[in-house]
Amino acid sequence: MEIEKIFKNLILADFIVIILMVISSMYQPSEVSNLYKNLNDGLLSNFENFSRIVSISLFFLYLFTLNLLYRFISYGKPLYLFLVIAGIILNYLSGSVIYTAFSGMLDQIGGLISGSILILLFFSPVKNNFSNKNP
């Protein structure tokens, strides 16, 4: 089945992009870091520890969910949708962000891949591979 192969390749591409985003955020130029310090903080700036814990939890849960989707386990489907929506809300509440060109490109590619995965999950024959049976 060709569509399942495309779906699995998108999941692998999403995994690679998210790892590249983490690596690129660790090696930002000092100019970007200095500009970032002068930005207005978002609503979560008063809860810095909470924000970090939620972000790290969502990150690892996202990686776990990619594994569930790759293996066509049924509860990966609603969990992935929840994580995409939670990520959008967290990004909104976190305030302004400055990207390097490479990080911005990775962010856009990641959004495209996530949208493609959601379309395949809910509007293609791939949705039939997610039965209620769990291994």
Domain hosting 54: range is: 2-129
User: Tens digit of pLDDT for each residue in 95-130?
Assistant: 777 788 898 999 999 999 999 999 999 999 999 998
Torsion sign, CA atoms 39, 40, 42, 43 = positive
19, part of any domain: yes
Cα distance between residue 65 and residue 38, in whole Å: 35
Residues with Cβ within 8 Å of 125's Cβ and at least 6 positions away in sequence, in order, are: 1, 3
**Counted domains in the chain:** 1
User: Tens digit of pLDDT for each residue in 55-77?
Assistant: 899 999 999 999 999 999 999 99
Cα distance between residue 121 and residue 119, in whole Å: 5
- Written as one letter, the residue type at 10 is L
21 or 32: which leads in pLDDT: 21
